[in-house]
Protein backbone atom coordinates (compact mmCIF):
# COMPACT_ATOMS: atom_id res chain seq x y z
CA UNK A 1 0.00 0.00 0.00
CA UNK A 2 1.35 3.41 -0.87
CA UNK A 3 -1.24 6.14 -0.23
CA UNK A 4 -3.21 6.92 2.91
CA UNK A 5 -5.80 9.67 3.22
CA UNK A 6 -5.56 11.38 6.61
CA UNK A 7 -7.98 13.76 8.33
CA UNK A 8 -10.62 13.64 5.59
CA UNK A 9 -13.51 16.11 5.66
CA UNK A 10 -16.78 14.27 5.06
CA UNK A 11 -19.65 15.84 3.13
CA UNK A 12 -22.96 14.03 2.85
CA UNK A 13 -25.26 14.57 -0.16
CA UNK A 14 -28.88 13.60 -0.64
CA UNK A 15 -31.42 14.98 -3.10
CA UNK A 16 -34.88 14.83 -1.54
CA UNK A 17 -36.41 14.92 -5.04
CA UNK A 18 -34.60 11.86 -6.38
CA UNK A 19 -36.65 9.06 -7.88
CA UNK A 20 -37.72 6.18 -5.65
CA UNK A 21 -37.07 8.21 -2.50
CA UNK A 22 -39.48 6.98 0.21
CA UNK A 23 -42.10 9.56 1.14
CA UNK A 24 -40.75 9.70 4.69
CA UNK A 25 -37.35 10.79 3.35
CA UNK A 26 -38.22 12.94 0.34
CA UNK A 27 -40.33 15.86 -0.77
CA UNK A 28 -42.06 16.85 -4.00
CA UNK A 29 -41.89 20.01 -6.09
CA UNK A 30 -45.25 21.22 -4.81
CA UNK A 31 -43.80 21.31 -1.31
CA UNK A 32 -40.70 23.16 -2.52
CA UNK A 33 -42.95 25.78 -4.14
CA UNK A 34 -44.77 26.12 -0.83
CA UNK A 35 -41.42 26.88 0.82
CA UNK A 36 -40.56 29.43 -1.88
CA UNK A 37 -43.90 31.17 -1.29
CA UNK A 38 -43.32 31.22 2.46
CA UNK A 39 -39.84 32.65 2.06
CA UNK A 40 -41.20 35.37 -0.23
CA UNK A 41 -43.72 36.19 2.51
CA UNK A 42 -40.94 36.23 5.11
CA UNK A 43 -38.97 38.69 3.00
CA UNK A 44 -42.01 40.93 2.54
CA UNK A 45 -42.51 41.00 6.31
CA UNK A 46 -38.83 41.71 6.94
CA UNK A 47 -37.27 43.24 3.79
CA UNK A 48 -34.00 44.10 5.53
CA UNK A 49 -33.38 40.68 7.05
CA UNK A 50 -29.94 40.37 8.59
CA UNK A 51 -26.36 40.59 7.40
CA UNK A 52 -23.95 37.82 8.36
CA UNK A 53 -22.00 36.12 5.59
CA UNK A 54 -24.46 37.32 2.93
CA UNK A 55 -23.10 40.11 0.78
CA UNK A 56 -24.49 42.82 -1.51
CA UNK A 57 -28.02 41.86 -2.59
CA UNK A 58 -28.31 38.59 -0.66
CA UNK A 59 -31.26 38.40 1.73
CA UNK A 60 -31.03 36.30 4.88
CA UNK A 61 -33.80 35.75 7.38
CA UNK A 62 -33.38 35.75 11.12
CA UNK A 63 -33.23 32.37 12.86
CA UNK A 64 -36.44 30.44 13.34
CA UNK A 65 -37.26 28.40 10.24
CA UNK A 66 -37.15 25.29 12.43
CA UNK A 67 -40.13 26.71 14.40
CA UNK A 68 -42.20 27.59 11.32
CA UNK A 69 -44.95 24.97 10.74
CA UNK A 70 -44.46 25.13 6.96
CA UNK A 71 -40.83 24.04 7.35
CA UNK A 72 -41.54 21.10 9.67
CA UNK A 73 -41.54 18.47 6.92
CA UNK A 74 -38.21 19.84 5.69
CA UNK A 75 -36.70 19.73 9.18
CA UNK A 76 -37.93 16.18 9.65
CA UNK A 77 -36.29 15.06 6.40
CA UNK A 78 -33.01 16.69 7.41
CA UNK A 79 -32.93 14.94 10.79
CA UNK A 80 -33.80 11.63 9.10
CA UNK A 81 -30.90 12.18 6.70
CA UNK A 82 -28.54 12.64 9.66
CA UNK A 83 -29.90 9.53 11.37
CA UNK A 84 -29.64 7.48 8.16
CA UNK A 85 -26.09 8.38 7.21
CA UNK A 86 -24.13 10.77 9.43
CA UNK A 87 -24.66 9.02 12.76
CA UNK A 88 -23.93 5.50 11.44
CA UNK A 89 -20.80 6.79 9.70
CA UNK A 90 -19.52 8.01 13.07
CA UNK A 91 -20.76 4.94 14.91
CA UNK A 92 -23.31 6.88 16.99
CA UNK A 93 -26.58 5.37 18.17
CA UNK A 94 -29.53 7.74 17.45
CA UNK A 95 -31.47 6.29 20.37
CA UNK A 96 -28.95 7.69 22.87
CA UNK A 97 -27.18 10.39 20.82
CA UNK A 98 -30.08 12.53 19.63
CA UNK A 99 -29.79 15.32 17.09
CA UNK A 100 -31.84 18.45 16.95
CA UNK A 101 -31.74 21.51 14.73
CA UNK A 102 -30.50 24.32 16.94
CA UNK A 103 -31.15 27.12 14.48
CA UNK A 104 -31.98 27.62 10.82
CA UNK A 105 -32.47 30.56 8.48
CA UNK A 106 -33.57 31.30 4.95
CA UNK A 107 -31.39 32.64 2.13
CA UNK A 108 -32.45 34.28 -1.13
CA UNK A 109 -29.53 35.11 -3.42
CA UNK A 110 -30.40 37.32 -6.36
CA UNK A 111 -28.20 38.88 -9.02
CA UNK A 112 -24.64 39.52 -7.73
CA UNK A 113 -25.41 38.14 -4.26
CA UNK A 114 -22.75 36.01 -2.62
CA UNK A 115 -21.67 34.74 0.79
CA UNK A 116 -18.24 35.47 2.21
CA UNK A 117 -16.04 32.63 3.52
CA UNK A 118 -17.21 31.49 6.93
CA UNK A 119 -17.72 28.51 9.22
CA UNK A 120 -20.44 27.71 11.75
CA UNK A 121 -19.34 28.03 15.36
CA UNK A 122 -20.98 26.35 18.33
CA UNK A 123 -22.35 23.17 16.76
CA UNK A 124 -21.27 19.74 15.51
CA UNK A 125 -22.57 19.56 11.92
CA UNK A 126 -24.18 22.14 9.67
CA UNK A 127 -25.85 22.04 6.29
CA UNK A 128 -27.84 23.64 3.53
CA UNK A 129 -31.01 22.57 1.74
CA UNK A 130 -31.67 24.00 -1.72
CA UNK A 131 -35.31 24.85 -2.31
CA UNK A 132 -34.94 26.47 -5.73
CA UNK A 133 -31.65 26.17 -7.61
CA UNK A 134 -30.56 25.29 -11.14
CA UNK A 135 -26.87 25.04 -10.30
CA UNK A 136 -25.69 28.17 -12.11
CA UNK A 137 -26.67 30.82 -9.54
CA UNK A 138 -23.36 30.68 -7.65
CA UNK A 139 -21.58 27.55 -6.51
CA UNK A 140 -21.15 26.44 -2.92
CA UNK A 141 -17.37 26.25 -2.48
CA UNK A 142 -15.67 24.30 0.29
CA UNK A 143 -12.30 25.85 1.18
CA UNK A 144 -9.22 24.00 2.45
CA UNK A 145 -7.76 25.72 5.52
CA UNK A 146 -5.04 23.24 6.48
CA UNK A 147 -1.57 24.03 5.13
CA UNK A 148 -0.57 20.96 3.15
CA UNK A 149 2.38 22.59 1.41
CA UNK A 150 4.55 25.51 2.59
CA UNK A 151 6.84 25.94 -0.43
CA UNK A 152 6.52 25.19 -4.13
CA UNK A 153 2.97 24.07 -4.92
CA UNK A 154 2.58 22.46 -8.36
CA UNK A 155 -0.98 22.40 -9.60
CA UNK A 156 -2.76 19.07 -9.28
CA UNK A 157 -6.42 18.01 -9.20
CA UNK A 158 -5.53 15.99 -6.09
CA UNK A 159 -4.15 19.04 -4.23
CA UNK A 160 -7.00 21.49 -4.59
CA UNK A 161 -7.50 24.34 -2.17
CA UNK A 162 -11.22 24.63 -2.88
CA UNK A 163 -13.96 22.31 -4.12
CA UNK A 164 -16.97 23.86 -5.93
CA UNK A 165 -20.42 22.26 -5.83
CA UNK A 166 -23.28 23.16 -8.18
CA UNK A 167 -26.41 22.38 -6.13
CA UNK A 168 -29.84 21.73 -7.59
CA UNK A 169 -33.34 21.99 -6.18
CA UNK A 170 -33.99 19.34 -3.55
CA UNK A 171 -30.33 18.79 -2.71
CA UNK A 172 -29.26 18.70 0.92
CA UNK A 173 -25.58 18.91 1.84
CA UNK A 174 -24.30 18.20 5.35
CA UNK A 175 -20.80 19.10 6.50
CA UNK A 176 -18.77 19.48 9.72
CA UNK A 177 -19.35 22.92 11.19
CA UNK A 178 -15.64 23.75 11.07
CA UNK A 179 -15.45 23.29 7.29
CA UNK A 180 -14.74 26.70 5.75
CA UNK A 181 -17.06 27.53 2.85
CA UNK A 182 -18.47 30.35 0.77
CA UNK A 183 -21.04 30.93 -1.96
CA UNK A 184 -19.87 32.39 -5.25
CA UNK A 185 -21.70 35.37 -6.80
CA UNK A 186 -24.93 34.73 -8.64
CA UNK A 187 -24.35 36.01 -12.18
CA UNK A 188 -27.84 35.09 -13.41
CA UNK A 189 -31.11 37.00 -13.17
CA UNK A 190 -32.62 34.13 -11.15
CA UNK A 191 -33.05 33.98 -7.40
CA UNK A 192 -31.77 30.93 -5.53
CA UNK A 193 -33.69 29.87 -2.42
CA UNK A 194 -32.13 27.81 0.34
CA UNK A 195 -32.15 27.29 4.07
CA UNK A 196 -29.07 26.80 6.20
CA UNK A 197 -29.02 25.08 9.57
CA UNK A 198 -26.92 23.89 12.48
CA UNK A 199 -27.44 20.76 14.55
CA UNK A 200 -26.62 19.96 18.15
CA UNK A 201 -26.32 16.67 20.02
CA UNK A 202 -27.96 15.47 23.23
CA UNK A 203 -26.27 12.48 24.87
CA UNK A 204 -28.43 10.36 27.17
CA UNK A 205 -25.36 8.86 28.85
CA UNK A 206 -21.58 9.25 28.75
CA UNK A 207 -21.13 6.13 26.62
CA UNK A 208 -23.18 7.78 23.86
CA UNK A 209 -20.37 10.27 23.28
CA UNK A 210 -18.09 7.58 21.89
CA UNK A 211 -18.84 6.17 18.44
CA UNK A 212 -18.70 2.40 18.03
CA UNK A 213 -18.38 1.23 14.43
CA UNK A 214 -18.97 -2.47 13.77
CA UNK A 215 -16.20 -4.04 11.70
CA UNK A 216 -14.27 -0.77 11.58
CA UNK A 217 -11.25 -1.03 9.28
CA UNK A 218 -8.48 1.38 10.25
CA UNK A 219 -7.09 0.99 6.73
CA UNK A 220 -10.28 2.03 4.92
CA UNK A 221 -8.46 5.07 3.51
CA UNK A 222 -5.37 3.13 2.47
CA UNK A 223 -4.87 2.59 -1.27
CA UNK A 224 -2.63 1.06 -3.87
CA UNK A 225 -1.87 3.03 -7.02
CA UNK A 226 -2.18 1.74 -10.54
CA UNK A 227 0.42 2.37 -13.23
CA UNK A 228 -1.08 5.81 -13.97
CA UNK A 229 -1.04 6.93 -10.35
CA UNK A 230 -4.76 6.46 -9.72
CA UNK A 231 -5.99 4.91 -6.45
CA UNK A 232 -7.07 1.29 -6.58
CA UNK A 233 -9.82 0.71 -4.05
CA UNK A 234 -9.74 -2.44 -2.01
CA UNK A 235 -12.27 -5.18 -2.61
CA UNK A 236 -13.96 -6.63 0.45
221-236 tens-digit pLDDT: 999 999 999 999 775 5
- Angstrom distance (rounded) from CA 34 to CA 44: 15
- pLDDT at position 147: 83
- pLDDT at position 109: 97
- Angstrom distance (rounded) from CA 44 to CA 79: 29
- pLDDT at position 154: 80
Q: How far is CA 155 from the centre of its chain?
A: 27
Closest CA relative to residue 190, chosen from 87, 57, 61: 57
- pLDDT at position 164: 97
Is 233 among the domain residues? no
Is 227 among the domain residues? no
Question: Quick one: CA torsion of 75, 78, 79, 81, rounded to 10 degrees?
Answer: 160
Predicted confidence band of residue 183 (pLDDT cuts 50, 70, 90): very high
What pTM does this model have? 0.94
Is 155 among the domain residues? no
Q: Does residue 115 register a pLDDT over 90? A: yes
- pLDDT at position 70: 98
- pLDDT at position 236: 54
- pLDDT at position 235: 58
What domain range includes position 47?
A: 8-145+162-207
- Angstrom distance (rounded) from CA 89 to CA 124: 14
- pLDDT at position 228: 92
Task: Count structural domains, the chain.
Answer: 1
Q: Model confidence over 30-89: pLDDT tens digits?
A: 999 999 999 999 999 999 999 989 998 899 999 999 999 999 999 999 999 999 999 999
Q: Model confidence over 166-179: pLDDT tens digits?
A: 999 999 999 999 99
Higher pLDDT, 161 or 29: 29
CATH number at residue 13: 2.60.120.620
Q: Model confidence over 132-144: pLDDT tens digits?
A: 999 999 999 999 9
Is 219 among the domain residues? no
Q: Model confidence over 72-92: pLDDT tens digits?
A: 999 999 999 999 999 999 999
Amino acid sequence: MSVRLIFPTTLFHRNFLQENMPESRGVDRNYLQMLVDEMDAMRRRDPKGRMFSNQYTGWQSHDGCEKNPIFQKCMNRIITFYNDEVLPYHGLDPSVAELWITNSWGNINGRDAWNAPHLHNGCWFSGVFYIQADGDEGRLTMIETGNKVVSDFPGSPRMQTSIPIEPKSGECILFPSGAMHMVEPNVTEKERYSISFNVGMHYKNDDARQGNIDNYDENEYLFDLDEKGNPVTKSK
